[in-house]
Amino acid sequence: MLNKWLKQVLTPRTQAAGQKAGTPSQSLPVNKNLLVSMELLRSKLGRSPDFVMRGFTSSKGDSPYPVLAVCYVDGLVDHMQLTELIEAAARTAENSLQNGREPSGGEPDEGELDEGKPDGGESVAEQLARSLPSADLQKKATLDDVIASVLSGSVVFLADNTSYALSVSIPGGLRRSVEEPTSQSVIRGPKEGFTEELSTNMALIRRKLKTPDLRMEVRQIGTYTQTRVAVAYIQGIAQDSVVEEVRRRIDSINTDSILESNYIEEMIQDAPLSPFPTIMNTERPDAVAASLLDGQVAVLIDGTPFALLMPVTFFKFFQSSEDYYQRYDLATFLRVLRIMTFLVALLLPSLYIAITTFQQEILPMTMLITLAAQREGTPLPALLEAFIMELTFEVIREAGVRMPRIIGPAISIVGALVIGQAAVQAGLVSGTMVIVVSFTAIANFVIPSIDMAAAVRLMRFTLMILAGTLGLFGILAGMIPIIVHLVSLRSFGVDYYAPYAPFHKSNMKDMMIRVPIWAMKTRPDQIAGKNRTRQAPYQYPPVEETLLGSSSQGGQEEPS
Amino acid sequence: MSQQKIRASELVVSLILFEVGSTTLFLQGGGVKQNAWIAVLGAGAAGALVLLLHLAIHRRDPRLDLFLLFHRYMGPWVGTVFNLGFIAYFAYEMSRNLRDMGELTMLTLLPGTRIWITALITLLVVANTVRHDWRVSFLTGMALFPIMVASYLILILIIFLSGLIHYEFLLPVLENGVNMDMAKEVMKLVSFPFGETVVFLVFYPLIQQRRSVVRNIMISYFGIVLFLAFINQLSVMVLGPVLAANTTLPLLETVQLVQFPGVFERMDALFTLILFMGLGFKMVYFYSGAVIGLERVTGIGYRKWIIPLGALIFWAAFWSPNYTHHIWLGREIVLFTIWPVFQIVLPALLFTVMLLRRNKIKPH
């Protein structure tokens, strides 16, 4: 009889679900009859073996039917806490006066919500709520809510004669612990990186920013993955309009799955077809904290250690969080160096092609003779030669990323000896070309952001074709549209090429040049909101006069 | 058309790039030999008056651009005729620069490539810049301005360091006094490059903050005049007045003479790129002016006009059968006949009408 009733309830629902795949189906309330609820849950989850459900009977009555049930997904919850919770639940069930009742017994009274107090005392659910050792206790009214919380690492308690379920979130199971970030390592600075778990990542940021103004808004995206996505910003420092825009764009995502931050990035970025990234990603909590303090908005996604930062400008991609952990002069030098390597990675092969093919007169005579002598025996034109070598490098690189680690040395031998040295010795490729290609490759790795490095890799080939057909004129004809494109880009309302075009004088202190920390009085223009002042002015390290005096005196006194 | 505002500094930078643009390509005031700098300075002073006339027009009705002003103060019929004239003028200026660019490429970088290929590529690059919101062309100016400044500074520095300067080429000063030759050179210079700022009447209304704009524009204008007189005289001081006047591209010739054996032997190929950028900016502003005018006249969005007008400009760039004819037409004929009409006569007429009808038609 129970099964029949269940079938009646379930059949139209499964059909509806079949017609509209991907959209959440209409939700069923938690049934007052515990056995019905349990059976519904089991069948909705397809009787999956990792879905654990157990009923507790009361010892006071003689009924074989449970008064209380606990369910969770094995592997998603923390076992230590689970044991404590189950102990508490078992005690509650043991002590409850109420009998488990016949499942086919009296019709549930729809009007009354607080039923199930046969003795006038509190219900099992209330007793349980009182005795559960957890602060994070939530009531779930529908079965879909119950399933959602079970699937996101909660343990859920169902009580007989109660139209809601109690959910305690105890996410656990095997997760990666906080480790040093692999993609952005530093010599000096914090060594912790984000993990795949959102709550850990949120805590990592909280630990750095102990302010009530740090806001984190969590929402769930993806009909199947139900990925939790947190929008983090500092109230008052971030621009309200930008925060609102981030919210709007994230809320407009309608998809079945979010598996990595790039799913979100590609859905919300300003110029989806541009080779240049308009959203930055980082694995480092300190980088996120610094960005939040600049007025940026961070988006953290459950299941990936990469957080997104927006809005972002072009030159931000050439900065590393280590710039602030080492001396300002070195940091400035490194930033200039990075911009130069950006240009080298973008232009060196095309300049080489253009100069050796069209504008040889630029080179000094001795160099020209050396180059010409090298190229004398090579069978291919410079453009083709460079193209083949660049493609070869890209192949070796991709192989290096994908191959198992054990055969790594083999790849390096093949790459360096066979393709590099042997090709030159065989006279197929000129030695200079190998130098150009390798230096370009190394320069490409200096760019701190992988996204920006990828953009350079793609544009390099276009520029090489232009240089091979039209020389320096071709390079200029390729570079001008790139600059125009860069200038036209915007990231969440902020000009991408700022602070150079449009020019913002106060942002110059932290772009190409990194001034000493005490001189960074204000937050960046355009990005930060109303709260512009970062710290008090004139904090040039103060030295007490007395200290100066005593040290010089001490120096004089000692020898005498 | 979206009304994206630009900042005054961006406009000033663009004005500088525009004025320097292709001016350094040719020897200005070659007719008066070593006194070219006097001609440039004199023309700069006269050009300042022209610029002030343009700014006065702008100040009287700061919200309207050139085309809307003509339409408003001259009536729809007369205004449209004048507007079409201005569009044709801007387009022709653009086509002349396109031809210059093509010829320059053929003379310096790509002697073997057909001129129409380089001209077509240039046109595409410029059209791509115009295609974006016009704020982008001003921002591009901001982005490339440091490169231009640095290049010219390095150029001046190495010319001085290489010891090519002959100060005796400056003498004698004004050996014939102020005569007709000087007047002719000054007139030429007022039309090109100084009077060409008339195209900026299209862009002045875009400025966000109007405070002290006129002052900033005038200051930077005088800076440009001094710079142009200096860089122009540099060719004379290196090459000598006779050679400088008879060379097609005197500044490039000067750069060619600079040699640091073992490091740089021929820098002119690199410097050509800087000249290209200057020419490109000039083209962008004329092209923008023309397509914005077409939008104002016809009401059809300016982006739709880029390709048809581009085809027309491309065709017009090859009117002259050869470069000599092109130079003769540009530097001897139109400078005295057509250019002053659009740069001085029509703006003066507009300003007079604005003053006369100031009681009837209030500023927008």
Q: Inter-chain contact B143–A501, Cβ cutoff 8 Å? A: yes
Distance CA B236, CA B31 (A): 12
Query: Strands A280-282 and A307-310, how do they pair?
Result: antiparallel
Q: Inter-chain contact B273–A472, Cβ cutoff 8 Å? A: yes
Among candidate residues B165, B178, B193, B151, the one with its CA nearest the CA of residue B24: B193
Given a cut of 50, whether residue B112 has pLDDT beyond it is yes
Least confident of A280-284, A326-330, A374-378, A551-555: A551-555
Nearest to B110 among A361, A473, A484 (CB): A473
Residue B296 in contact with residue B67, Cβ under 8 Å? Answer: yes
Burial class (CB in 10 A: 0-12, 13-18, 19+), A21: exposed
Q: Is the peptide bond before B193 cis (omega within 30 degrees of 0)?
A: yes
Q: What is the pLDDT of residue A113?
A: 42
Q: What is the pLDDT of residue A140?
A: 87
Conformation bin of residue B64: beta by default, left when phi > 0, alpha when psi is -120 to 50: beta
Q: Name which of A490, A503, A508 to mutate to probe chain B: the one with the most chain B Cβ atoms within 10 A of its Cβ.
A: A503
Distance CA B293, CA A485 (A): 24
Burial class (CB in 10 A: 0-12, 13-18, 19+), A80: exposed
Residues with Cβ within 8 Å of A476's Cβ and at least 6 positions away in sequence, in order, are B273, B276, B277
How many CB atoms are located within 10 Å of the residue B263 CB?
Answer: 9
Q: Is A113 on the interface with B (CB under 8 A)?
A: no
Burial class (CB in 10 A: 0-12, 13-18, 19+), B71: buried
Least confident of A20-24, A89-93, B122-126, B287-291: A20-24
Q: What is the pLDDT of residue A327?
A: 92
pLDDT tens digits along B214-234: 899 999 999 999 999 999 999
Q: Looking at this predicted complex, what is its ipTM?
A: 0.94
pLDDT tens digits along B265-315: 778 888 889 999 999 999 999 999 999 999 999 999 899 999 999 999 999
The one-letter amino acid code at A194 reads: F
Per DSSP, the three-state class of A30 is coil
Given a cut of 90, whether residue A296 has pLDDT beyond it is yes
Distance CA A357, CA A467 (A): 9
Phi–psi pair at B29, nearest 5 degrees? 70, 30
**Mean pLDDT, range A240-253, rounded to an integer:** 94
Q: Is B266 on the interface with A (CB under 8 A)?
A: yes
**How far does the CA of residue A503 sit from the closest CA of chain B (Å)?**
7
Given a cut of 80, whether residue A434 has pLDDT beyond it is yes
Q: How many residues does chain B have?
A: 364
Q: Name which of A315, A469, A476 to mutate to probe chain B: the one with the most chain B Cβ atoms within 10 A of its Cβ.
A: A476
Q: Inter-chain contact B142–A502, Cβ cutoff 8 Å? A: yes
Least confident of A288-302, A362-376, A539-553: A539-553
Q: Which residues of A, range 463-522, sit inside 8 Å of B by Cβ?
A: 470-474, 476-477, 480-481, 483-484, 486-488, 495, 497, 500-503
- What tokens were used for A64? 């074989």
Averaged pLDDT of chain B:
90
Residue whose pair of structure tokens reads 């200290």 in the numeric block: A547
Per DSSP, the three-state class of B172 is coil
Residues with Cβ within 8 Å of A139's Cβ and at least 6 positions away in sequence, in order, are A164, A165, A166, A167
Given a cut of 90, whether residue B22 has pLDDT beyond it is no
Q: Residue B98 — pLDDT band, cuts 50, 70, 90?
A: very high
Nearest to A501 among B105, B139, B267 (CB): B139
The topology (CATH level 3) of B9-356 is: Amino acid/polyamine transporter I (1.20.1740)
Given a cut of 50, whether residue A18 has pLDDT beyond it is no
Residue whose pair of structure tokens reads 């369910």 in the numeric block: A71
Q: Is B146 on the interface with A (CB under 8 A)?
A: yes
Given a cut of 60, whether residue A13 has pLDDT beyond it is no
pLDDT tens digits along A307-332: 999 999 999 999 998 899 999 999 99
Using alpha carbons, list the distances in angstroms from residue A467 to A34, A174, A376.
75, 53, 21
Residue whose pair of structure tokens reads 């919380």 in the numeric block: A149
Using alpha carbons, list the distances in angstroms from residue B349 to B73, B80, B352.
10, 15, 5
Q: What is the pLDDT of residue A9?
A: 54
Q: Residue A144 — pLDDT band, cuts 50, 70, 90?
A: confident
pLDDT tens digits along A224-237: 888 999 999 999 99
Q: Which residues of B, range 109-138, sit inside 8 Å of A by Cβ?
A: 109-110, 113, 118, 121-122, 125, 128-129, 132-133, 136-137
Q: Inter-chain contact A500–B146, Cβ cutoff 8 Å? A: yes
Q: How many residues does chain A have?
A: 560
Instruction: Spell out the domain ranges in chain A.
Output: 2-169, 198-312, 328-495
**How far does the CA of residue B298 sit from the closest CA of chain A (Å)?**
27
Averaged pLDDT of chain A:
84
Positive or negative, the CA dihedral B99, B100, B106, B107 is positive
Task: Supply angle C-alpha B219, B224, B227, rounded to 5.
Answer: 125
**Mean pLDDT, range A401-428, rounded to an integer:** 82
**Mean pLDDT, range A193-208, rounded to an integer:** 93
Q: What is the pLDDT of residue A331?
A: 93
Distance CA B109, CA B270 (A): 9
Q: Residue A560 — pLDDT band, cuts 50, 70, 90?
A: very low
Residue whose pair of structure tokens reads 């493609």 in the numeric block: A391
**Mean pLDDT, range B136-142, rounded to an integer:** 93
Nearest to A473 among B118, B262, B265 (CB): B118
